[in-house]
């Protein structure tokens, strides 16, 4: 199997693509699209987002230390792209896109009502890394849309058709191939090995 060798770069794809909402000290809302986002820790629950320091959102995040990660869906794909290419310096993204800001429970940043899951976050540390600075944050509250809950109160994010980002493209998540631990799960009728 032949492989090409490329220069070092970020090839960890696909990535979650999220809309990060915030409010400045005067209460003005903004949304920025982030593909450099991820889970950091389970206990305590922590996430990270990485933002270029020249972005309009950067000083807001730095000054307030609060933001909300809003998961994106097929329905939010246009808004997700728009919030990544338009600056909050020039446009009110909530108004332009018809998105609904709702108050957070723990932070002053607004949630995006149309998102199926919203994670309220409080910045723990800002780490300058080069082109991007990482905002390491504690998740202080999670909101899940009840319309994706079944009768047993199990959440079904797949019904929201979440999207990911890969090499400049937005993709809808596909079919389920298994569940955690399925590779070692005992099959029906199979005898336990001794």
Q: What is the pLDDT of residues 38-47, one digit of tens each?
A: 999 999 999 9
Considering only the top CATH level, what class is 15-172? mainly beta
- Would you say residue 192 has pLDDT above 60? no
Annotate 43-56 with b (16+ C-beta within 10 A) or e (fewer). Answer: eeebbbbbbeeebe
Instruction: Tell me the β-bridge partners of 21.
Output: 31, 68
Name the percent of the chain lying above pLDDT 70.
96
**Pick from 33, 2, 1, 39: which is nearest to 18 by CA?**
33
pTM for this model (two decimals): 0.92
- Would you say residue 139 has pLDDT above 90? yes
Element (H, E) at 127: strand 117-128
At 93-116, the pLDDT tens digits run 999 999 999 999 999 999 999 999
| Domain coordinates in residue numbering, the chain | 15-172
Spatial distance between the Cα atoms of 111 and 99, rounded to a whole number of angstroms: 10
At 47-92, the pLDDT tens digits run 999 999 999 999 999 999 999 999 999 999 999 999 999 999 999 9
Neighbours of 183 (CB within 10 A): 6
Instruction: Provide the pLDDT for residue 189.
Output: 64
Mean per-residue pLDDT over the chain, rounded: 94
């Amino acid at each position: 199997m032949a492989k090409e060798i490329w220069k070092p770069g970020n090839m960890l794809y696909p990535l979650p693509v999220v809309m990060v909402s915030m409010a400045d000290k005067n209460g003005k809302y903004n949304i920025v699209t982030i593909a450099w986002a991820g889970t950091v820790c389970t206990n305590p629950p922590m996430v990270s987002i990485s933002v270029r320091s020249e972005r309009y959102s950067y000083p807001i995040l730095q000054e307030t230390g609060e933001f909300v990660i809003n998961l994106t869906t097929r329905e939010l794909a246009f808004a997700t792209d728009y919030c990544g290419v338009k600056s909050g310096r020039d446009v009110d993204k909530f108004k332009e896109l018809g998105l609904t800001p709702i108050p957070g429970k723990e932070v002053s940043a607004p949630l995006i009502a149309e998102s199926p899951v919203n994670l309220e976050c409080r910045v723990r540390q800002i780490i300058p890394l080069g082109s991007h600075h990482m905002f390491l944050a504690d998740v202080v509250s999670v909101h899940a849309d009840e319309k994706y809950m079944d009768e047993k109160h199990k959440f079904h994010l797949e019904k929201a058709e979440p999207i990911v980002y890969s090499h400049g493209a937005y993709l809808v998540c596909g079919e389920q191939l298994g569940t955690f631990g399925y590779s070692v799960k005992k099959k029906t009728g199979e005898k336990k090995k001794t």
